[in-house]
Amino acid sequence: MEHTARAFWLRSPGVGEIRSVPVPEPAPGDVVVRTRYTGVSRGTESLVFRGGVPESQREAMRAPFQEGGLPGPVKYGYLNVGTVEQGPSELVGRDVFSLYPHQTRFVVPAGAVVPLPEGVPAERAVLAGTVETAVNAIWDAGPLIGDRVAVVGAGMVGCCVARLLADIPGARVQLVDTEPERADVAECLGVAFAHPAEAAGQCDLVFHASATEAGLATSLDLLGDEGQVIELSWYGDREVRIPLGESFHSRRLAIRASQVGVVSPARSRRRSLADRLSLSLRLLTDPAFDTLITGESPFERLPDLMPLLADGRIPALCHRIAYG
């Protein structure tokens, strides 16, 4: 086997590069994977790229196969789909998802990869990590039949949450965003769309995923009495003002954090991290998720592409990276 690969490294905040890296010999029980696609996680990877992870959270925000340390140099990422070239016979030749950074080939334990279910193309499977975040958030919230639900922020996470909520019988689900172009995305996902000023209120639940103060304020405004905001945004090193005056207390509103690093307490006794990821991949048999792939670029362009994705000059949902 080849003993070198090429990997994307953040040399310092705002500066990325492709490096030649060693690929170790696989030990018994390991797999060698040739990457086909990776996905850029706009939220977390943008924060990492600009050096916006607070020092107190750098260990907590480590990616599973990260090398180096924040703020850099660091190899970071966790949306990888590739083909097993070497390993246990039942995996050789299979396309698999793993939480590995942007790298052409790599070696990991066989237990760190999940074969793609039948009906899930490799091109779509890069969304598995984001769907997993959405699954965990919905487990945290526990929506019920007929609930009135809003999802504020039509980015990757918000759109995945909205699509999963769309199948709850009798539920009123609306995707709320300031960008009118997201209306077409909402239609493909099977949910209503609204600008914040026109969104329907009296919600039982609001999932907030815009990572803005205005979005959080809108989320609280949309709640009915004793309603709950599920906070999915991560703000990094930014200070955020929360409007807790006026009727917040008298209406007994709540804000609850959801984070994908651990399985939701609502399911943690009966589901493992592997169970949750396997479920997320099975959910990707749904072709509606294809609408969240809004662009593709070759791996060699990643150093030039990341600054454009991080500052919004490329207004992507999921930008897919292709490996020749």
Tens digits of per-residue pLDDT, 61-111?
Answer: 788 899 999 999 999 999 999 999 999 999 999 999 999 999 999 999 999
Please answer whether residues 69 and 58 qualify as being in contact, where contact means their C-beta atoms are separated by less than 8 angstroms.
yes
* Residue whose tokens read 């999921």: 318
Distance (Å, whole) CA 277 – CA 299:
25
- What six digits make up the tokens of 111? 């237990």
Dump pLDDT digits (tens) for 196-245. 999 999 999 999 999 899 999 999 999 999 999 999 988 777 788 888 88
Distance (Å, whole) CA 48 – CA 43:
9
Structural domains of the chain sorted by starting position, each given as residue range(s) with its CATH number in brackets: 4-127+284-322 (3.90.180.10), 130-257 (3.40.50.720)
Angle CA 102–106–111, to nearest 5: 105
Average pLDDT over residues 273-295: 95
- The yes-or-no verdict on residue 1 having pLDDT over 70 is no
pTM of the model: 0.92
Please answer whether residues 18 and 75 qualify as being in contact, where contact means their C-beta atoms are separated by less than 8 angstroms.
no
More confident of the two residues 62 and 2:
62
Please answer whether residues 39 and 302 qualify as being in contact, where contact means their C-beta atoms are separated by less than 8 angstroms.
no
Please answer whether residues 211 and 232 qualify as being in contact, where contact means their C-beta atoms are separated by less than 8 angstroms.
no
State residue 146's pLDDT score.
Answer: 97
